[in-house]
Amino acid sequence: MKALLLQGLTGDQLAYQDFLGTLALHVRAFLRSRLSRRPAEIEDMVQDVLLAVHNARHTYQPQQPLTAWVQAIARYKLADHLRSVSRRDARHDVLDDDAQLFAVSEVESAEASRDLTKLLKQLPERQRLPIVHVKLEGLSVEETAQLTGLSSSAVKVGIHRGLKALSRLIGGANNHED
């Protein structure tokens, strides 16, 4: 989908239409699980999200993960919709499982994984390795310390600093203006 969006941003109307059509499928699945008590509102919300993506397309940065960018827009539109419908009826748990937005497609999962890999490559080894081994591979701090030659303390510090750096990288990509 990212390739289609990027082609669309350069003027390829067919690629952009394909992007919006594919995105609509993901957004519809995301909203269907969250608006199960309000099925009549799903299609209107799909259109609202697609329109918001279209209106914000100039803010998308190619180095930014597409999934995170779209997810932020979709969650904002859903929260806004639920607030406007009724605070009393809005279920707060509909916003909790945001990972399901792109769970429909393994291709999107692969894109998200690739995006994470790109972000991790920007970190120094003392931050990247502890995150990969502990957070992604599930090794203990002690196992990671033995594997990397760092102290357990350095592994913990590396994870903490690395996650903060990743947050800044993602936040910085979301805050750039063209």
Least confident range from 21-25, 91-95, 158-162: namely: 91-95
Whole-number pLDDT of residue 23: 92
| pTM (whole model) above 0.75 | no
CATH number of 1-92: 1.10.1740.10
137 or 1, which is more confident = 1
For every residue of the chain, DSSP letters joined together read -HHHHHHHHTT-HHHHHHHHHHHHHHHHHHHHHH-TT-GGGHHHHHHHHHHHHHHHGGG--TTS-HHHHHHHHHHHHHHHHHHHH-TTT--GGGGT-GGGGGTT-HHHHHHHHHHHHHHHHTS-HHHHHHIIIIIIS---HHHHHHHHT--HHHHHHHHHHHHHHHHHHHHHHHH---
Q: How distant is the alpha carbon of residue 49 from its chain centre?
A: 15
**143 CB-contact burial (10 Å; exposed 0-12 / middle 13-18 / buried 19+):** middle
Q: Where in the chain is the domain with CATH 1.10.1740.10?
A: 1-92
Q: Tell me what percent of the residues of the chain surpass a pLDDT of 90.
A: 30
For 78-136, what is each residue's pLDDT tens digit? Answer: 888 888 776 545 444 455 555 555 555 555 556 667 777 888 889 999 999 998 888 88
Using alpha carbons, select from 76, 73, 39 the residue that is nearest to residue 53.
73
Q: Is the pLDDT of residue 177 over 50?
A: no
Neighbours of 3 (CB within 10 A): 12
Question: Which residue has 């699945």 as its token pair?
Answer: 29
User: Average pLDDT, whole number, for the chain?
Assistant: 81
Q: Where in the chain is the domain with CATH 1.10.10.10?
A: 123-177
* Fold annotation for 123-177: Arc Repressor Mutant, subunit A (1.10.10)
For 43-58, what is each residue's pLDDT tens digit? Answer: 999 999 999 999 989 8
Whole-number pLDDT of residue 90: 41
Least confident range from 21-25, 44-48, 125-129, 137-141: namely: 137-141
